[in-house]
Amino acid sequence: MFTLRKLTQTAVLLAALTPPISAQPSPEKAKMSENPLLQPFKTPHETVPFNLIKNDQYLPALQEAMAMGRKEIDAIVNNPAAPTFENTVVALEHAGQMLNRVSSVLFNLNSAETSPELQKIVREASPLLTEYSNDISLNEKLFKRIKTVYDQRDKLKLDGEDRMLLDKSYKGFARNGANLKDGDKDKFRAINKELSQASLQFGENVLNETNEYMLEVTDEKDLAGLPDFVREAAKSTAKKKGKTGWVFTLQAPSYQPFMQYADNRDLRKKLFIAFSSRGFHNDKNDNQQIIGKLVQLRYDRAKLLGYQTHADFILEESMAGSPEKVKQFLSELVGYSKPVAEKQLAELTNYAREHGFKDERLERWDYNYYSEKLKKEKYALDDEILKPYFKLENVIDGVFTIANKLYGLTFKERKDIPVYNPEVKTYDVFDQNGKFLAVFYGDYFPREGKRSGAWMNDIQGQKIENGVNVRPQIVNVCNFTRPTETKPSLLSFNEVTTLFHEFGHGLHGMLANGKYESLSGTSVYRDFVELPSQVMENWCYDPEALKLFAKHYQTGEVIPNDLIEKIRASQNFMAGLANLTQLRYGLVDMYWHGGAPKGETVEQVESHVDSLVNLFPKVEGVAFSTAFSHIFAGGYSAGYYSYKWSEVLDADAFEFFKEKGLSNREAADKFRKNVLEKGGTEKPMELYKKFRGREPSPQAMLRRSGLTL
């Protein structure tokens, strides 16, 4: 999954007038000159000197960087020369780079290595940055210059990338309130400020809820069914927390295997309800009112800007284009998925009854447990069998090797690049000619200061400046199974596909090759950004690829062919139910954002969607919206459908690789040159057609997912 976005140029449409830094010599000025965030980074590839930065340096650095950004904007606005593409649009693209750098470091850390102190700093910084953004996007003189250039666009000798930057810059202002009347501009400022604060609070509440819960088991009989690797990890967690026995948490590497294997149904239910009620307890971490506030504010902002709904506003800049198209797309997929899901659930229920299940219907906390058993019976396959072949270090080497076969990339680990946590690994990335391409950071284990899930960020985006191709610095962040006292980190197959997914995002960033940072890498439409990540997952099922890295951690034995065939045969196991789950998320997102707020409660909204797609009994006291960080604390509001949309693209794209050969350099070069390198420099459909030779067909996705009876 891809969430956090740095403050790039159009989000340097991020700004507010904060008190100017005094120009007089002072102790504060002297301290500022020593602030490592504001100095040249004297590190390999000018990477962030995390070891030198102290928390109390962020706010002063942000204020100084904003002062620098204001001066750069003033220079554009007050330029006596007539507005041109270079002195206005390109100048704006290059403005605020110091602020981009400082804020990028801060917000990356707030997701991957936060603390109460850092969270407090971000809460203070967020309204300042929002105001800074507003002051740029609502600057009438600046917009007038942009509009002057935009109105002359057909007469200017601009290449395609220049035209895209001009178009994005103009729309960025229009979509951020530049055409509003003065009174409405004040409303727009206030809404953006409230939105930034509410979104931050939502994310903090989810993190708190995740970290504060633990299920302590003291009777070994309650561990029945759990494999040794799960027990050992729980014992290790208990030891770290100063507990006896075994401790299970709401972090994915602990929660998911417990739900899959634990025979104790009451404990499965207990853990499920704890996980599924995060932010839904009417306490200090409750997110219900925050959701209502976010939904209303987003709607109010959209109406202020002349859109019917927040979804209309968001989807204007997407491949789908409109809420109606998205709703139709999701509805069609429900039509394909639901009959298959009903058939699969009936099969699973019959299996459970044959194995002692006595209730009328399976509950949610039964699904993973019985589906894991059925999967093992049908395919003789489960994570206990597979995990020994997926040592984390081997999987990382494997994805690097596949990147080499496809794109000629090589990765060389470095020990001298500063990191924000000792667990983070860093690499130099080189192309097939040995030319430096990027810095890659890998951060793979859960910590209390890291939010759940997996994502890719860039600390430094790619751009060309003063004739120099500034190469990117890319971060992959995951939450995988930790090593124990007796075993290395052994991944579940789901974790393997997650690593490949995030690495696909990483390739989109590492191979970026454009002129402008705001169009570079993953700066694309939301429903296109998942194509590089999701297509990369396909290599996890390829025999040739698996044999590169799936080796038993004790014996070195390459994964046998029969296990590979079982992985491939089980690829669509319970695919209908899995698709309904994804569609449930997408429909809830569109329900929240695709119409006028009706004042409905979280429970009412989810009940409405569940009447369409949920096949399990209703569970009192749970809700997933209150921990749905993708849409309420990340960048996927009115955009969660994009995972399924991109699945259509990736299945169709992968069929091209299969036609040519999965290691075929010609196919890989077409994908690299027309998708990975291009970023947002052209419309996504045009890029896809240049790669594939035609528009995508949904049939490949339906075939691959087994969504036909």
- DSSP-derived secondary structure letter, 465: E
The pLDDT value given to residue 23: 34
Question: In this structure, are residues 693 and 660 in contact, taking their beta carbons and an 8 Å threshold?
Answer: no
Gyration radius (Cα) of the chain, Å: 25
CATH 1.10.1370.40 residue ranges for the chain: 388-575+642-705
Q: Which pair of structure tokens corresponds to residue 616? A: 């399990």
User: How many Cα atoms occupy the beta-carbon half-sphere of 707 within 13 Å?
Assistant: 20
The pLDDT value given to residue 442: 98
Distance (Å, whole) CA 268 – CA 663: 43
Distance (Å, whole) CA 449 – CA 115: 6
The pLDDT value given to residue 10: 32
> What are the phi and psi torsion angles at 459 (to 5°)?
-85, -35
| Pairing, β 455-460 against β 463-465 | unpaired
Model pLDDT for residues 447-466, shown as the tens digit of each residue? 999 999 999 999 999 999 99
- DSSP-derived secondary structure letter, 422: T
Distance (Å, whole) CA 217 – CA 163: 61
Which DSSP string do the residues of 591-659 spell out, in sequence order? Answer: HHHSS------HHHHHHHHHHHH--SPP-TT--SGGG-HHHHTSS-TTTTTHHHHHHHHHHHHHHHHHH
Beta strands in 283-409 (DSSP E): none
The pLDDT value given to residue 337: 96
Question: In this structure, are residues 654 and 224 in contact, taking their beta carbons and an 8 Å threshold?
Answer: no
The pLDDT value given to residue 32: 59
Q: Domain 43-179 sits in which CATH superfamily? A: Endopeptidase. Chain P; domain 1 (1.20.1050.40)
Model pLDDT for residues 213-262, shown as the tens digit of each residue? 999 999 999 999 999 999 999 999 999 999 999 999 999 999 999 999 99
Give the CA-trace dihedral at 389, 577, 344, 563, to 10 degrees.
Answer: -10
Domain 388-575+642-705, CATH? 1.10.1370.40
Question: In this structure, are residues 481 and 495 in contact, taking their beta carbons and an 8 Å threshold?
Answer: yes
CATH 1.20.1050.40 residue ranges for the chain: 43-179
The catalytically annotated residue of 64, 502, 647, 655 is 502
> What are the phi and psi torsion angles at 61 (to 5°)?
-65, -40
The pLDDT value given to residue 706: 86
* First vs last C-alpha separation in the chain: 29
Question: In this structure, are residues 688 and 678 in contact, taking their beta carbons and an 8 Å threshold?
Answer: no
Q: Is 476 helix (H, G, I), strand (E, B) or coil?
A: strand
Phi-psi region of 447 (alpha: psi -120 to 50; beta: other; left: phi over 0): beta
Distance (Å, whole) CA 249 – CA 251: 5
Residue 110 burial class via C-beta count within 10 angstroms: exposed 0-12, middle 13-18, buried 19 and up: buried
| Catalytic status, residue 502 | yes
Distance (Å, whole) CA 602 – CA 621: 11
The pLDDT value given to residue 708: 67
Nearest to 583 by CA among 345, 330, 338: 330
Distance (Å, whole) CA 510 – CA 414: 17
The pLDDT value given to residue 707: 83
The helix-helix angle for 642-660 and 323-354 (nearest 10°) equals 80
pLDDT along the chain (709 residues), means of 10: 33 31 40 85 98 97 98 98 98 97 97 96 95 96 98 96 98 96 95 96 97 97 96 95 96 96 98 98 97 98 98 97 97 96 97 95 98 96 95 98 98 98 98 98 96 95 96 98 94 97 98 98 96 97 96 98 96 95 98 96 97 97 97 95 96 95 94 98 97 94 82
Q: What is the pTM of this model?
A: 0.92
